A and B are shown apart, each in its own frame.
Chain A
Amino acid sequence: MNRLVTVAEMTLRELARRRGVLLLLLLMPLVFWLIRRDSYVGQSIRALLLGISWAVSTAALFATSAARELEPRLRLAGYRPRHLYLGRMLGLWALGLAISVPFFLLTVFDTANLRYAGIAVAMLCCVAVAAPFGMLIGALLPRELEGTLLLLTVVAMQMLLDPGSSGAKLTPFWSSREIATWAVDHTDDGYLTRGFVHGLVVTLLLTVTVAGVFAVRLRRRRHLHHVPLT
């Protein structure tokens, strides 16, 4: 447990010291929200959620890429792969929540007649999905530029796809859009349930995939045999 918490703490410390990155992380959802604010309120909320998703995914991607050289030696120092990916994920989730709070308050003070609990759940889904999603891309693509371009493609796809289409359900952040519809348009509870289940399933799937990738990358190689000290 100590190892998990230490990795989470160091992830947060590293990100907290990147003030420029933090500023951009806050700016991105804000810009998304501002651009859509004068039009339909639902669109501004959805844009805000997408901005949070993208911001946290990007932070996760960069944190994972930056730790690529460090992790093998931490593995030798006694960490197991699960300490490394879960610890980092915990740190990123905490960062995501910290980023979401001001935006949640923004919607509370700016827009009336919303189901605020729904907005909060949608933001939770964004953060929950974005951390393992960014980490997965960071783990699979060694270069940050390639990872960023892939993130951009996914978010653009998310933005352009008709949410009612079956293809949209395959995108990672569909859950927040569905829950936002429930929160903004006061639709039936089916939207909330579907969105929540989607968010949960996607988070689990992504976390398991991240676990698999890390387990392979940081595996004990077969050629190396450890024998006790003599």
Chain B
Amino acid sequence: MNADEWLRTFAAELHQRRVAVDAARHVVAEAATHLREGGGDPWLVFGPPQSYAAAIVESIGTTPGPRPGPVRLHARGINKRYGRRTVLRDAALTVRAGQIAAVVGANGCGKSTFLRICAGLVSPDAGEVTVSGRLGYCPQQGGTADFLLPDEHFVLVGAGQGVARGPARRAGRTAARHLGWDAEGDLLARHLSGGTRQKLNLTMSTLAEPDVLLLDEPYQGFDQGSYVNLWDQLVRLRDEGKAIVVVTHLLNQLDRVDVVLDLTPAQQGGRS
């Protein structure tokens, strides 16, 4: 494990142990500086990343667990068939303000369909969804305009909320920076890399300051650093009281979620 890998694992450990995002970033930066200036094997300097993270947690403490607020999204009895194939059977999910929910399951088990039903883009055959507040949605792919600049996307989304051009542009660039992306520049969306385009997609969905944020595999094409930034951003939004639903294939150690809905047919239904 080289220094970069050690730092990544260390950052992940801090995240998992609920160290405040800004504090974790600061500690990782300090460790990186120390390694860069002093050299040496991080295993010898700091020890295993898990142990060092534990020591840090003991020293600076962790953020208090978010206290879930009122229910923001309540989906119940969702059924959906495509032809003879039943995709969703009695799926249910409740997400409160200040919670992150993960929708997981195998390919084709209806994760994206469930999210699109929650967003009101697809009608279910049965079931209801109640949303409290404003809804934001980030599709798995598409959802951007090939021949527009990132700034123009921000203006377009901002105008929907009656936000003037300047503030919309600034808000978009700030949200993009949280994902480690500098959105200024004159690169059309079609010339952005897959991961950067997905960051644009994600930024657009958070721009309208939704109370409920629905994300369909928002990290496609992300590198490890961007993935960490994404979860930083989601944790930040959760701590601000947003309710977040993320469709994902797998949950790994970085993904700190409060609710999991597994749509794999054999074990359908929500569990917390």
Contact = CB atoms under 8 A, between A and B. Distances in A.
Indicate, yes or no, whether A interacts with B: yes
Interface of A: 2-3, 6-7, 10, 13-15, 17-18, 66-67, 69-70, 72-74, 76-79, 220-230
Given A223-B124, A225-B130, A79 B146 contact: no
A79 B127 contact: no
A18 B204 CA distance: 23
Given A70-B144, A76-B136, A76-B137, A10 B129 contact: no
B157 interface: yes
Given A10-B148, A67-B145, A72 B159 contact: no
Interface string B142-163: 1111111000100111011110
A230 B132 CA distance: 8
B127 A223 contact: yes
A79 B121 CA distance: 14
A3 B152 contact: no
Contact of B152 (A10, A76, A221): A10
A24 B103 CA distance: 46
A225 to B, nearest CB: 5
Contacts of B70: 230
B95 to A, nearest CB: 14
Interface of B: 70, 117-124, 127-133, 135-139, 142-148, 152, 155-157, 159-162, 188, 204-205, 207-208, 211
Contact of A69 (B133, B139, B156, B157): B139
Contacts of B138: 73
B206 to A, nearest CB: 11
B208 A77 contact: yes
B156 A225 contact: no
B121 A72 contact: yes
* Residue of A223, A225, A228 with highest tally of chain B CB at under 10 A: A223
Contacts of B146: 14, 66
A76 B136 CA distance: 7
A43 B255 CA distance: 68
A221 B208 contact: no
A223 B129 contact: yes
Given A14-B145, A70-B145, A76-B136, 15 more contacts: A13-B148, A14-B146, A18-B147, A66-B145, A69-B143, A73-B138, A73-B143, A73-B205, A76-B135, A77-B157, A77-B204, A78-B208, A221-B122, A224-B120, A225-B131
Contacts of A6: 155-156, 159
Contacts of B211: 229
Contacts of A224: 118, 120, 128-131
Contacts of B128: 223-225
Contacts of B131: 224-227
Nearest to B123: A221
